[in-house]
Chain A
Amino acid sequence: DAGVTQSPTHLIKTRGQQVTLRCSPKSGHDTVSWYQQALGQGPQFIFQYYEEEERQRGNFPDRFSGHQFPNYSSELNVNALLLGDSALYLCASSPRTSGRGTGELFFGEGSRLTVL
């Protein structure tokens, strides 16, 4: 049973460029969330996708956008890259549940983006 897979693992971009990161959720999971983790900090919630729609969003500008495909995989797009976008981008999947709260998140190994 494959866990959450992310690609690419590392990439280097220059300011102003655009980047697309990809995520395949764990088998049986239909909800994908993206997090940004700057060096020495905790993960910050970017947004969450379920049923191919953005359901929740954190405090990130519109330069950050995403997509979820019918097979539940997801992409994170960042336009007009800034030096401050350099970070580890983590994808997490979970099964949709009802009721109070949810269970655990399953994380991928992340995509490390360096913006020069």
Chain B
Amino acid sequence: SQQGEEDPQALSIQEGENATMNCSYKTSINNLQWYRQNSGRGLVHLILIRSNEREKHSGRLRVTLDTSKKSSSLLITASRAADTASYFCATDANFNKFYFGSGTKLNVKP
């Protein structure tokens, strides 16, 4: 299976701290994306990084990709209570067919 797996499964931090979550996958990919899901609702796209990129930034988000290790990390800086959600990585090796991991549940305490 190409499915990505996030680590840790759960993360609890204080507001203002940074949150780092990791994703590992098994086969070659075209791109890797991170999504956020609030309490069982729809997923919202956060950031996409292509296989030929190593790092990407978007606001308080920083994503890295290491294709040699088949891993990615998502860093959320200066976290807020509103960042409390589940975060999923999704890999795409086949056109529009994405594989999602089981997610990291982030709790940011005010």
**A contact set with B: CB distance below 8 Å:** 4, 31, 33, 35, 40-45, 48, 55-56, 58, 88, 90, 92, 94, 96, 100-110, 112
Q: How far is the CB of A30 from chain B (nearest CB, A)?
A: 11
Closest to A104 in B: B45
A-B contact count (CB 8 A): 76
The 10 closest A-B pairs by CB, nearest first: A101-B30, A42-B100, A104-B45, A107-B42, A101-B31, A109-B42, A107-B43, A43-B100, A100-B30, A42-B102
Give the distance in Å from the alpha carbon of A63 to the alpha carbon of B58 in the complex: 41
CB contact between B97 and one of A56, A88, A109 (< 8 Å): that residue: A56
Closest to B31 in A: A101
Give the distance in Å from the alpha carbon of A35 to the alpha carbon of B35 in the complex: 14
CB contact between B96 and one of A4, A88, A102, A109 (< 8 Å): that residue: A102
CB contact between A4 and one of B42, B50, B51, B98 (< 8 Å): that residue: B42
- The answer to whether A102 touches B92 (Cβ under 8 A) is yes
Closest to A35 in B: B100
Closest to B1 in A: A59
Chain B interface residue count, Cβ-Cβ cutoff 8 angstroms: 28
Give the distance in Å from the alpha carbon of A33 to the alpha carbon of B42 in the complex: 13
- The answer to whether B44 touches A48 (Cβ under 8 A) is no
Contacts of A35 in B (CB 8 A): 100
Kindly identify, within residues 83 to 108 of chain B, every residue whose CB is under 8 Å from any CB belonging to chain A.
88, 90, 92, 94-103
B40 lies within 8 A of chain A by Cβ: yes
- The answer to whether B96 touches A104 (Cβ under 8 A) is no
- The answer to whether A106 touches B96 (Cβ under 8 A) is no
Closest to B97 in A: A56
Closest to A41 in B: B102
CB contact between B50 and one of A31, A92, A101, A104 (< 8 Å): that residue: A101
Given A42-B102, A101-B30, A101-B50; A56-B42 close (CB under 8 Å): no
Give the distance in Å from the alpha carbon of A35 to the alpha carbon of B96 in the complex: 12
